[in-house]
Amino acid sequence: MKAFARITVLAVPAAMLASTAAHAVIVLQNNETVNLGALMSTGSDRKFIIGDKLFTFEYVTTPNFNIQNFDITAKILAENQYGLRNIAFDLTGPFVDGGINDQTVQDMNLQYTVEVLPEYYERGIRICDTGLSFNGSSGGTGSFARVAETVYAVDTGQLLGNLNVFNNFGPPPSIQYSEVKDWCEIYGTEGYRALQCNKNLKFFANTDGGFASCSFVRQEFSQIPAPGAIALLGVSGFFAGRRRTR
């Protein structure tokens, strides 16, 4: 049984709101779910919070899929040596192309931002890693399931890089179910306040009887404290634990 989101009115800075009026912000606990169609509906702020992160879905476009059939599920995951938990969400639903060979790629494009909530940012929390994973599968010569993502730093507009996961039937076959990039390590930075992610999902069954499918795509973010911020986190930290190893 799904755990569905609680709708909570939060006291957040005016800069986070589209107007001076109070807005209902969707707060998702671990494994709670919000429907993608409902999130993107007219009048919605298109915002939700997981742990210390605020997500804003700027747009979703798809000529093939009904977004009412897709959900977003919150995940509060691995912990690190700084006492911070990884924050993630799963995009779940029937990503599939199969059966009739119509030579049409089934795709979806999604753009959103993720930012550290102001209270946590002031106490030194910064985003570092971006992780992408999925359970894509494909069958039939030339068939594929792919997710590609481009990541930018919101405050500077800097292009940080790309992540890719795929299941290409081939021949020859090629498969990569997950990819993680540590932008702090790559650029020698102390972390980021906010990132923008542009995600493209493609599924193509190239032959009659072929298939390309996926039931979930996971987006994950880990973080570090800025220099001098460890004391601000307190003994237990915001989300105490140890960093994942990979």
CA dist 117 and 56 (Å) reads: 12
Can you give the pLDDT at residue 134?
98
Per the CB < 8 A criterion, the answer to whether 84 and 244 are in contact is no
CA dist 159 and 1 (Å) reads: 39
Can you give the pLDDT at residue 25?
85
CA dist 201 and 166 (Å) reads: 10
Can you give the pLDDT at residue 80?
79
Per the CB < 8 A criterion, the answer to whether 96 and 211 are in contact is yes
Question: Does residue 68 sit within a domain?
Answer: yes
Question: Does residue 87 sit within a domain?
Answer: yes
Residue of 115, 87, 123 lying closest to 244 (CA atoms): 87
Question: Does residue 238 sit within a domain?
Answer: no
Q: Where are the beta strands (DSSP E) in 140-193?
A: 144-153, 159-168, 174-176, 178-182
Enter the tokens of residue 224: 């570090």
Per the CB < 8 A criterion, the answer to whether 211 and 139 are in contact is yes
Can you give the pLDDT at residue 175?
98
Q: Which domain holds residue 128?
A: 58-233
pLDDT tens per residue, the chain (246 residues)? 334 343 333 434 433 333 333 457 899 999 999 999 999 998 899 999 999 999 999 999 999 899 999 999 999 997 877 888 999 999 999 999 976 667 889 999 999 999 999 999 999 999 999 999 999 999 999 999 999 999 999 999 999 999 999 999 999 999 999 999 999 999 999 999 999 999 999 999 998 889 999 999 999 999 888 876 755 555 344 433 323 333
Can you give the pLDDT at residue 100?
66
Per the CB < 8 A criterion, the answer to whether 40 and 65 are in contact is no
Domain count, the chain: 1
**Phi and psi dihedrals of 3, rounded to 5?**
-100, 120
CATH number at residue 65: 2.60.120
